[in-house]
């Protein structure tokens, strides 16, 4: 099996970027170890702090954030860092070529129940006309990402990565400490009979999205004339991993009862990197109206609605949103 670095070299990824990816993955190996230790390493449970979005921070969230931040600050390759767990951007090395954003542990409600969680990350080129300490470093569309990936801490630790070419999947060989290529090119089937959505939000959706889900639930008897299955992980990284692995549609639509904050998922370090992985695996990733990767961001913690996965199913869903 091929190791990660030779794969990146073969894809003609520039050496500086390879070194940066290596740094992120070294931090993730450490996170994987701590996650695997579970209750034995006394890292489960909550701290008393809240992050900028008012969510209680879990101990492992804080540790993972610190590990990634420290290693990126030391690497000399990163000019600016943004994280779900940091209120504002962190200036790193002046003149360094890249900026990095990450969600250190996506799906933190799964931490204490030994469920799937993961680290999502994205890399862009630094802007020379913007100071390192400015949030404007990140006002770049998702199409500008030079690398997007996640490390999923499940029964095995897996890395999904794209540097602009195909989305590839690697598995961490814990005996050797290296990532081995296990799926050369992820390829999302265009059609599906599986959807992922938090059904407890049913009464908060637009009429178009409610109509779409209702038609899926009608199965063979409805207009879609297909029996659909549902899966919901509570961690976007795990749900999108399933979609990348066998197809499906993942939806986190707007909540129409919360006009002040209709969307839940974050554009910079959740939607954009996963959208790039999905598109480079022949899938489609939209909000309720537009391609996620084409959004000009307004803020590092901006939220967007997310509908991604099998192309035909995403198109069906978007059709309901247009006509209702
Ligand atoms: P956390 O990382 O704060 O646990 O949030 C996870 C997440 O952003 C995303 O990964 C899930 O799909 C979504 O939230 C689940 O949220 P709900 O349980 O509120 O639907």
Q: Pocket of ligand 1, candidates 234, 242, 266: which has the most ligand atoms within 8 Å of its Cβ, to mutate?
A: 234
Q: Tell whether ligand 1 has an atom less than 6 A from the beta carbon of residue 304.
A: no
Mean pLDDT of 159-187: 97
Place of tokens 């899938």: 283
Q: Tell whether ligand 1 has an atom less than 6 A from the beta carbon of residue 154.
A: no
Among protein residues, the one whose CA lies closest to atom 5 of ligand 1: 107
State the distance from the centre of ligand 1 to the C-alpha of 236, rounded, in angstroms. Answer: 6
Q: Pocket of ligand 1, candidates 57, 254, 264: which has the most ligand atoms within 8 Å of its Cβ, to mutate?
A: 264
pLDDT at site 29 = 95
Q: How is the beta sheet containing 306-309 ordered, strand by strand?
A: 229-230, 194-196, 249-252, 306-309, 284-286
Which is higher by pLDDT, 256 or 44?
Answer: 256
Task: Answer whether 0.75 is exceeded by the pTM.
Answer: yes
pLDDT class of 38 with cuts at 50, 70, 90: confident
Which of these, 120, 129, 130, lies nearest to 100 by C-alpha position? Answer: 120
pLDDT at site 112 = 86
Cβ atoms of 205 and 253 closer than 8 Å: yes
Phi-psi sector, 299: left (phi>0), alpha (psi -120 to 50), beta: beta
Q: What is the pLDDT of residues 201-231, one digit of tens each?
A: 999 999 999 999 999 999 999 999 999 999 9
In our burial notation (b when 16+ CB lie closer than 10 A, e otherwise), range 239-254 reads bbbbbbeebbbbbbbb
Residue 235: phi and psi, rounded to 5, are: -135, 115
Average pLDDT, the chain: 94
Strand partners, 103: 120
């Amino acid at each position: 099996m091929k190791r990660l670095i030779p794969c990146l070299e073969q894809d003609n990824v520039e050496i500086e970027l390879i070194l940066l990816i290596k740094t992120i993955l070294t931090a993730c190996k450490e996170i994987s170890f701590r996650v695997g230790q579970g209750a034995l390493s006394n890292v489960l449970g909550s701290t008393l702090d809240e992050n900028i979005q008012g969510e209680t921070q879990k101990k492992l969230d804080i540790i993972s954030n610190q590990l990634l931040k420290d290693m990126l600050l030391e690497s000399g390759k990163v000019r600016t860092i943004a994280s779900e767990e940091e209120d504002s951007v962190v200036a790193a090395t002046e003149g360094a070529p890249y900026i990095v954003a990450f969600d250190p542990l996506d799906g933190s409600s799964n931490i204490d129940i030994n469920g799937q969680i993961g680290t999502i990350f994205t890399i862009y080129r630094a802007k020379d006309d913007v100071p390192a300490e400015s949030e404007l470093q990140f006002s770049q569309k998702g199409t500008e990402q030079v690398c997007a990936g996640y490390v999923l801490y499940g029964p095995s630790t897996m890395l999904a990565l794209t540097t602009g070419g195909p989305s590839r999947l690697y598995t961490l060989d814990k005996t050797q400490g290296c990532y081995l290529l296990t799926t050369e090119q992820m390829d999302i089937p265009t059609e599906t009979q599986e959807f992922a959505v938090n059904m407890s939000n049913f009464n908060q959706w637009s009429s178009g999205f409610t109509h779409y889900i209702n038609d899926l639930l009608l199965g063979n008897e409805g207009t879609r004339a297909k029996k659909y299955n549902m899966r919901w992980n509570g961690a976007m990284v795990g749900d999108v991993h399933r979609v990348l692995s066998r197809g499906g549609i993942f939806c986190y639509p707007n909540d129409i009862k919360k006009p002040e904050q209709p969307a839940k998922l974050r554009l910079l370090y959740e939607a954009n990197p996963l959208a790039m992985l999905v598109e480079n695996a022949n899938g489609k990733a939209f909000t309720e109206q537009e391609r996620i990767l084409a959004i000009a961001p307004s803020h590092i913690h901006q939220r967007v609605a997310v509908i991604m996965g099998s192309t035909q199913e995403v198109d069906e869903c978007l059709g309901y949103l247009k006509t209702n």
